[in-house]
Amino acid sequence: MRILLGITGGIAAYKAAGLVRALSELGHEVTVLPTENALRFIGKPTLEALSGHAIDLDLYSDVSAVRHVELGQQADLVLVAPATASFLGRLAGGIADDLLTNAVMAAKAPVVVCPAMHSEMWENGATQRNVRELQSQGVRIMPPASGRLTGEDSGIGRLPEVEDIISFALGPMTLTGKRVLVTAGGTREPIDEVRYIGNSSSGRMGLEIAKAARDLGAAVTLIAANLESIPAGMEVLRVSSVSELEQAMNRGSDLLVMAAAVSDFEVANTYRGKLPRSQAPKIELKPTKDLLAGYAAKHPRTFCVGFALVETGGDIEKTARQKLWDKGCKVVIGNSSKALGATETDVLFVTADEATPLSGSKGTVASEIVSRVSQLLVSQGN
């Protein structure tokens, strides 16, 4: 594969040397195109030696060959790592003011961008708008990793490790063309206008699953129940109660992942207005609808994935298998209540034929779940 590797002027530019070497050792032909600022962090001779190609950054040299168009059109993949906030803004705005941005805009090949910057810059609203704009144009954005940053700071913004970048950029887009519906968060059922009952859920697993499906090429619709922070690059429907969630789920999909913590009960005697403390009511509860079973029955061609939360010490596989049949799912993810609010998790991936334990960060586990589900989709011809 002919890979055009863009490098922009951030401190993480030094990692590009390892990326060039790793891609070359895999048999790819790598053409390196750094910006002038990138060469303040890593030397041109190093990049030329590793890639085997001379580097000329002048947009106006060899004009008759139209180099910026040639570089873009000859690539099978355009990969920019690291990408600074400035680069994201210029590319999102269609500003082609150097050889790299010209080549990227002239490319017909897939474009993968790996941002790296300080946490505050990554989380800035302008950066996130630029990310969403690029994703809407079909650019794949690899989220930055968390860890030690420049100086003594730590947080999100690190350039991911070389092997992770290669896996993201070159991995199969197994969900391209698939419509994926993901529910995340916890529903809330009103007691009065300001109070509610609900389920404890950070929504982190659902959000990670939505991101993993997005990164495999799916058109993702995320139904977010009482969540604030939402990933870019997907349609988002915000809901609060079970009835709102049911209404938002009233659409077809190739894959449904029901990761939301849906309340089993709603208040039968809701109060209009705000109840005064002196009039504490006797709350009457009634069961809510089984949204997952209802959806599976209404959409028999959809591949449905459910979650089964089991009390610590309970039989996770038995509970998950029971839910597999009761809900009409193809996969149930069994997990323990100790995972609530945690960043690490242990789950059991249960199908009719297997029960496979998965463990690690919720991001890692979510990626493995989506990868396994996408393989089952392909094998079953969905």
Residues with catalytic roles: 199
DSSP 8-state secondary structure symbol assigned to residue 11: G
For 89, the enclosing helix (H) or strand (E) is helix 85-92
| Nearest-10 Cα torsion for 335, 336, 342, 347 | -30
Alpha carbons 113 and 46: distance in angstroms, whole number: 22
Q: Which of 171, 182, 91, 161 is nearest to 131 (CA)?
A: 91
Residue 303, Cβ neighbours under 10 Å: how many?
A: 22
How many other β-carbons are positioned within 10 Å of the β-carbon of residue 156? 16
Tokens 């790598």, residue? 30
Residue tagged 């082609």 (tokens): 96
Q: How far apart are CA 214 and CA 181, in angstroms?
A: 11
- 347 contacts: CB under 8 Å, gap ≥ 6: 333, 334, 335, 339, 357, 358, 359, 365, 369
CB of 114 closer than 8 Å to CB of 6: no
What amino acid is encoded at 180 in this protein? V
Are the C-beta atoms of 15 and 80 separated by less than 8 Å? no
Residue 289 and residue 298: Cα distance in Å, rounded?
14
CB 327 within 8 A of CB 296: yes
Instruction: Find the farthest-apart pair of alpha carbons in the chain and give their distance in angstroms, rounded.
Output: 84
Is the distance from CB of 92 to CB of 20 less than 8 angstroms?
Answer: no
Q: What is the DSSP string of 245-298?
A: HHHHT-S--SEEEE-SB--SEEESS--SS---GGG-----EEEPP-HHHHHHHH
